[in-house]
């Protein structure tokens, strides 16, 4: 893997914490993602199932992890099943993990080839009472493609109908919300690569450049720094495009006088960074653009101060909303009297700031975790307020990634230029 080695203790510890949550006689099974087809004989780039990666560190297709802490035979308490390589696979696809490499990478001692899974499984099922199966239960997920995990679950229920089948997702959502030191190290690297890409853009963006050319510069910097690429579809939105929250066409010309909204982040070792910045295409904000920018920045700084242990998402978003209301009043976008008399269930600021301020970040960009869980040290949240004025063709969003600590928080992107003066200065320098 281009990201190099990761301390296998991370994955061993993740399995230990997962095992602690299992009742007696429980077996858990995790599958890798499928290699998804395109057309003809084409396939999409492989992306590992995040739960399997979290528990094993294996980043290879056709892999299965079995966790059965109460197995009578010690060698069956953790098993990794891998695709056995061959001379044909080596020639056409490249190297696959050997058993010893898999042991070193995962910390799992028992490694078997994939064809042994259905031979070993009956003995495990004979001892197990509960079977934990994995599904993608993200609150935003729309699942229309049957996964390897889903196919396994369907087959197991037919072959072993009298077992108790349970959900692994709630346990993993609880565990993955708190990041370890090794995970934070990987996320910092993703943020550092994202910083390099943003600084590259400050010397590149100018009137006449196409949005997709800017996206190409981002890809270039990501790949040359050992990232597999973007953690999500990059948003390169100039002018009025910035008022489309998930704009990914990236096919327009950037014009003199536009503000360019950038929302992108590097993936490193499957971990995501998530950055938003808004910069003037010609290198100089107008008075109005700067006023809106500074308003968003003040909301961002306030919101960051509230991302601390003991707070919760509902109180946090309510406080951020009140702060945004005052900024929108100063910008003459809202009327103070109207705000006082508004319907609390439909706050007026939502016309200009219609999305949430923060979400979990980790192996997924919108990472898993209980939405209403009280903030705890080790959680990582984005902080991304924005103001979108469609009638002015102006959208500004600013976003950093915030680690909650025991003593407050740590901005993982504090080294990435943010102040309007710094943006303008660096754009001038980049053109000289």
Active site residues: 41, 246, 263, 274, 355, 359, 366, 384, 388, 397, 399
Strand bridging mode 164-167 / 229-230? unpaired
**28: which strand partners?**
67, 132
Which tokens go with 429?
């320098």
Strand bridging mode 235-238 / 271-272? unpaired
Handedness of CA 13, 18, 21, 22 (dihedral sign): negative
Burial string for 184-221 (b: 16+ CB within 10 Å, else e) reads bbbbbbbbbbbbbbbebbbebbeeebebeebbebbeeb
Eight-state DSSP code of residue 413: T
Q: Which uninterrupted H or E stretch holds 313?
A: helix 313-330
Burial string for 57-69 (b: 16+ CB within 10 Å, else e) reads bbbbbbbbbbbbb
Dihedral Cα 386, 390, 393, 396, nearest 10 deg: 0
CA atoms within 13 A on the CB side of 182: 15
């Amino acid at each position: 893997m281009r990201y190099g080695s990761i301390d296998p203790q991370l994955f061993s510890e993740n399995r230990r914490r997962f095992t602690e949550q299992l009742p007696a006689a429980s077996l858990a099974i995790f599958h890798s993602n499928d290699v998804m087809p395109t057309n003809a004989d084409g396939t999409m780039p492989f992306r590992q199932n995040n739960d399997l990666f979290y528990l094993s560190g294996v980043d290879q297709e056709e892999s299965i992890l079995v966790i059965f802490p109460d197995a009578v035979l010690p060698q069956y308490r953790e098993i990794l099943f891998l695709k056995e390589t061959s001379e044909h696979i080596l020639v056409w696809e490249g190297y696959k993990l050997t058993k010893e490499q898999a042991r070193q990478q995962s910390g799992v001692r028992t490694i078997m080839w994939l064809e042994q899974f259905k031979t070993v499984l009956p003995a495990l099922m004979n001892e197990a009472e509960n079977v934990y199966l994995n599904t993608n239960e993200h609150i935003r997920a729309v699942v229309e493609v049957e996964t390897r995990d889903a196919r396994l679950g369907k087959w197991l229920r037919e072959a072993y109908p009298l077992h108790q089948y349970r959900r692994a997702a709630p346990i993993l959502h609880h565990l993955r919300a708190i990041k370890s030191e090794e995970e934070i190290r990987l996320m910092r690297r993703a943020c550092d690569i994202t910083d390099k890409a943003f600084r590259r853009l400050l010397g590149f963006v100018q009137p006449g450049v196409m949005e997709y050319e800017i996206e190409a510069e981002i890809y270039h910097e990501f790949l040359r720094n050992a990232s597999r690429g973007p953690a999500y579809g990059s948003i390169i939105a100039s002018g009025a495009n910035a008022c489309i929250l998930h704009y990914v066409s990236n096919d327009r010309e950037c014009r003199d006088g536009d503000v360019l909204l950038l929302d992108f982040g590097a993936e490193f070792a499957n971990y995501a960074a998530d950055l938003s910045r808004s910069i003037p295409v010609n290198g100089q904000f107008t008075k109005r653009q700067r006023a809106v920018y500074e308003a968003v920045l003040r909301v961002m700084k306030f919101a960051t101060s509230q991302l601390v242990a003991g707070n919760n998402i509902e109180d946090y978003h309510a406080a951020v909303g009140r702060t945004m209301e005052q900024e929108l009043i100063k910008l003459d976008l809202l009327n103070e009297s109207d705000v006082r008399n508004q319907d609390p269930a439909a706050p007026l600021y939502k016309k200009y700031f219609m999305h949430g301020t923060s979400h979990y970040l980790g192996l997924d960009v919108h990472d898993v975790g209980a939405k209403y869980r009280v903030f705890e040290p080790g959680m990582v949240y984005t902080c991304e307020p924005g103001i979108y004025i469609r009638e002015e063709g102006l959208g500004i969003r600013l976003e950093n990634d915030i680690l909650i600590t025991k003593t407050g928080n740590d901005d993982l992107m504090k080294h990435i230029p943010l102040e309007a003066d710094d943006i303008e200065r660096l754009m001038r320098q980049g053109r000289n």
